[in-house]
Structure 1
Amino acid sequence: MKTKLSALVLAVPVALTTLTGCSMTDNISSEVPSAGTSTTRDASDAMEKVSSSIYDLLGVKGKASDSRPTVTDCSGKDTKTYFRILHPWSFVPATASDLDVVMEQLKAELPKDGWEVVQYGPDTSKNKNINLTADNDKKKVSVKIIAMAKDDPPMLSLDLVSGCYKVPDGEEVELF
């Protein structure tokens, strides 16, 4: 369990770094796009809905982790006024062979649901995990999905991250 937790702790910053550069905007920039104005609670609820919509696309039986979105900062912006939402979660399919089915399903179905797949293929790790990165410009969210076929049990790791939100005037970012 310590290894899994350590891997997750290391994966989140990597995912944030990777997703920060995704093209959720029309211009070719590494700047994180604006996601509009929202309270942290409303933005978190919206992110849970986005995660649920991805879960609905999986198309196989299995068990999702029970994780909640969290608030992170927008690099270079006032931490009392600007924030991002990160929602890391995992999915363990009922059978190991379903992992490949899920990745192909997501690759095909995400674009039909407003996502642009910007990267798909094996990573450079010794396990050659299949990675899928997709952006949803309308929702200002990116997702990084990693099929970890050689884990015990085999699973998907999903990291969703929003663009930068600004809290409404007179409010401050609530951390959770």
Structure 2
Amino acid sequence: MSDSKDSHETPFAGVSTSSDAAGAMEKVSSELYDLIGIKGKASDTQPGVTECSGKDRDKYFSIFHPWDLTPASTSTAELEGVVERLRQELPKHGWKVVEYGRDTSMNKNLSLTADNDEKKVSVKLGAHTKNTPPTLGLMVVSGCYQIPEGKKIERF
């Protein structure tokens, strides 16, 4: 998710209030939930606001939304199968898979990172099969927003 050749630069996501941007992030998380396609219980976490690296923290912000899905089935194969299936399905929905494989944790979780350049959003997800119960963990992060003139960034 980048606007330039430097893949570490966070792209500009537009002008928005932090509450509207958080609402857009919840919509993206909901779309991802639908793509996951297995029954289970999603954690009830709300998006948060953080600063954009190297930018004025009073004018620019980013939204992050961490959440977990605890599947109804505790099958390791099913959970890792979801990650594999998403690697195939996400590109059909405007996502580009930029990283896929085992992470560097002691548990060697199967993980995937994908960017949606149109929505200026990135998701990192991992099958945490060694957790009790096993979970699919997601971190959805927006690009960098600018607060409209005359508004203040709400921190939540």
Task: Please tell me the TM-score bracket, short chain as reference.
Answer: over 0.9
- Percent identical across equivalent pairs? 58
Q: Distance in 2 between matches of 1:25 and 1:55?
A: 27
Structure 2 unaligned spans of 5+: none
Does residue 1:49 correspond to 2:27, yes or no? Answer: yes
Q: Is the 8 A contact 1:24 1:141 kept in 2?
A: no
Q: Is the 8 A contact 2:2 2:8 kept in 1?
A: no
* Aligned AA (2:71): P
Q: How much does 1:80 deviate?
A: 1.1
* Aligned AA (1:175): R
Among candidates 75, 96, 103, match of residue 116 of structure 1: 96
Give the corresponding residue for 2:6: 28
Structure 1 stretches of at least 4 aligned residues deviating more than 4 Å after TM superposition:
none
Q: Deviations over 1:32-89 (max 9, x none)?
A: 1100100101100000000000000011111100111011001111111100000000
Structure 1 unaligned spans of 5+: 1-22
Q: How much does 1:109 deviate?
A: 1.3
Question: How many residues align structurally?
Answer: 154
SS in 1 for 2:3: coil
Q: How much does 1:30 deviate?
A: 1.6
Structural mapping, 1:101-140, within 5 Å: 101-140=81-120
**Structure 1 length-normalised TM:** 0.84
The structure in which a higher percent of residues are helix is: 1
The structure in which a higher percent of residues are strand is: 2
Q: CA RMSD in A?
A: 1.1
Among candidates 112, 133, 136, match of residue 156 of structure 1: 136
**Structure 2 length-normalised TM:** 0.94
SS in 2 for 1:75: coil
Q: How much does 1:26 deviate?
A: 4.7
Which range moved further: 108-117 or 92-101?
92-101
SS in 1 for 2:73: coil
